[in-house]
């Protein structure tokens, strides 16, 4: 019996680490939590019909290293860019007045999506603890590509960039630690 206990103690953390999932919140939930414990927000702007969005959800946000890091350092929010939820963001209310529930594919663009300046899907947006938009990152990102942004924004390194060359150097010197796909 002791033999099995040791095996279980060894493999349980490995199994549980492999099962890590991002704790997704609504934007309103994240904003409430942000008041209690300030953290940046990572906002996954997606649509239901977007293939790369689904791939990023599965391969990148489903990556245990990504999930563990995001859960520890950010409030994670999924936002359907063509959905019909009402969004209250720092005194502004956003809706999707042309939303049509009977549509199967594309729908009208949500006002909050327009406010964020989203031009393609998926778009990952980072928001500061005070509600300032830090940066949007458009397109599918692999776990190690997202890792660069997660760590750069968490540490505040992006604040010292004065030119695109600074980001280029940062990117060239960055050593990813997350496991790939």
- Residue 54 resides in a domain: yes
- Residue 178 resides in a domain: no
Taking only the tens place, the pLDDT of each residue in 61-87 is 999 999 999 999 999 999 999 999 999
pLDDT at 24 over 70: yes
pLDDT at 7 over 80: no
- Residue 12 resides in a domain: no
Our count of domains for the chain comes to 1
For residue 58, give every residue at least 6 positions away whose Cβ sits within 8 Å of its Cβ, in sequence order, or none: none
CA separation for the pair 118, 81 (Å, rounded)? 9
pLDDT bin (cut points 50, 70, 90) of residue 180 is: confident
- Residue 11 resides in a domain: no
Domain hosting residue 90, numbered range: 20-173
CA separation for the pair 123, 45 (Å, rounded)? 5
Taking only the tens place, the pLDDT of each residue in 9-19 is 444 454 444 56
> Phi/psi zone of residue 139: left (φ > 0), alpha (ψ -120 to 50 degrees), beta?
left
């Amino acid at each position: 019996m002791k033999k099995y206990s040791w095996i279980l103690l060894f493999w349980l953390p490995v199994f549980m680490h492999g099962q890590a999932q991002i704790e997704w919140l609504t934007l309103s939930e994240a904003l409430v939590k942000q008041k209690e414990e300030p953290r940046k927000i990572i906002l996954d702007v997606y649509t239901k019909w977007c293939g790369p969005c689904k791939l990023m959800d599965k391969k990148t946000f489903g990556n245990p290293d990504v999930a563990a890091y995001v859960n520890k350092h950010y409030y994670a929010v999924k936002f359907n860019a063509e959905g019909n939820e009402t969004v209250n963001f720092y005194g502004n209310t956003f809706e999707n007045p042309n939303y049509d529930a009977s549509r199967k594919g594309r729908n009208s663009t949500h006002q909050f999506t327009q406010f964020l300046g989203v031009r393609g899907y998926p778009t990952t947006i980072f928001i500061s603890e005070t509600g300032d938009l830090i940066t949007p990152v458009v397109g599918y990102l692999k776990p190690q590509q997202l890792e660069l942004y997660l760590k750069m924004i968490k540490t505040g390194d992006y604040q010292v960039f004065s030119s695109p060359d600074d980001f280029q150097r940062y990117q060239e010197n960055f050593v990813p630690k997350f496991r790939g796909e």
